[in-house]
Amino acid sequence: MTSPFRVALSGDFRKADGSPVFPDFDLEPLRSAANVEFTYLTPINPIRADQLADFDALILLAHRFTRESIHPNGRLTVVARFGVGYDTVDVEACTEAGIAVVTTPDGVRRPVAVSILTLLLALTGKLMVKDRLTREGPAGFARKGEHMGVGLVGRTLGSIGIGNIGVELFRLLQPFGMELIAHDPYADRKIAAELGVELVGLEDLFRRADVVNVSCPLSPQTHHLVNAARLEMMKPTAYLINTARGPIVDQKALTEVLKAHRIAGAGLDVLEQEPPDPEDPILKLENVILAPHALCWTDQCFAGNGAADVRAVLDVQHGREPHLVVNKPVLATDRWRKRMAEFRSRFGA
């Protein structure tokens, strides 16, 4: 009898009472798959190596997967991250151990782009201010003329990053009549041209944009990419939006710029510290819209992420290369090829 392909789900997929955190994550394809068993890990963060000794695959939500999470028996073959970011995973250690790291950009592409658009419209339409005015009754209504919104036609949106999410954002912006610019050393120039996006230098983007959007991965190179000097380059009427990762923006510098009204405002779905200290001064500012790293969280987003992770895990079970591997060099290693051949032999291609 063939031993089953065993899949672990990180413990943060379940609430304390055992119910699913995200009911839209459909696990039926795993339940119905032949020769597959899955279970939830005890919620320990970072994940410990002994928890994974008997598993071939891990579907990972927010818990960290470090070098110390890798069991020396070499059984674990794939870490399927639930989402597009992988800064919680030690990718280098995974590559050395022959473990493929997979993300789900197809699941987050539209939801994150929509969340950027949501912040763009809320900021320029002064939505939060107008909400407060309405709740004040007649006194608030009397001041509504003091808070005129900003039209988008002819305004410039500059995106730091024109990858998976940046491209989708620019597609959504096509009917708005905005000028579109982007900075990305890895940009596909053909796609940029098709979307009418001008590729520019980083400082040029900060100086020209009426809205600066951050859509790049967090890395040592992008840590505090949005710093005090670059924030000072922005127009006093400009807005900053960040739905990527908090540490890409120097939050202390941004707080000072916002307090001084050096820029018009910011929309942040991510912060340097999550959750923030309750005394963090940025929480007290009225010219910033904040969300708890969850603005893109919709039923469709989580269904898409879950389906992509399950598909990747089942591809590995059958010895097929999964879609969207982060650490592609692992696919050329002898260990990976040997494991794929073994899975094909056990479960069929």
Whether residue 136 lies in the annotated active site? no
For 2-64, the DSSP string reads PPPEEEEE-GGGB-TTS-BS-TTS--HHHHHSTTEEEEEPP--SSPPGGGGTT-SEEEESSS-
**What is the Rg, in whole angstroms, of the alpha carbon atoms belonging to the chain?**
22
Q: Using an 8 Å Cβ cutoff, are 10 and 39 in contact? A: no
Q: Using an 8 Å Cβ cutoff, are 205 and 213 in contact? A: no
* 241 half-sphere exposure, CB direction, 13 A CA radius: 28
Q: Tell me the CA distances in angstroms from 136 to 108, 139, 142, 267, one per residue in order.
A: 37, 6, 10, 23
In the set 68, 136, 203, 274, the catalytic residue is: 274
Q: Using an 8 Å Cβ cutoff, are 184 and 163 in contact? A: yes
Whether residue 194 lies in the annotated active site? no
Alpha-carbon span 48 to 43, nearest angstrom: 10
Six token digits for residue 165: 């999410």
Among residues 208, 274, 263, 219, the alpha carbon closest in space to that of 241 is found at 263
Whether residue 207 lies in the annotated active site? no
Q: Using an 8 Å Cβ cutoff, are 99 and 72 in contact? A: no
**Which residues, in sequence order, are bridge partners of residue 39?**
8
In the set 245, 272, 311, 339, the catalytic residue is: 245
In the set 110, 155, 230, 293, the catalytic residue is: 293
Q: In which region does residue 293 sit, left (phi positive, over 0), alpha (psi from -120 to 50) or beta (all else)? A: left
CA angle 291, 131, 244 (to 5 degrees): 20
Active site residues: 245, 274, 293
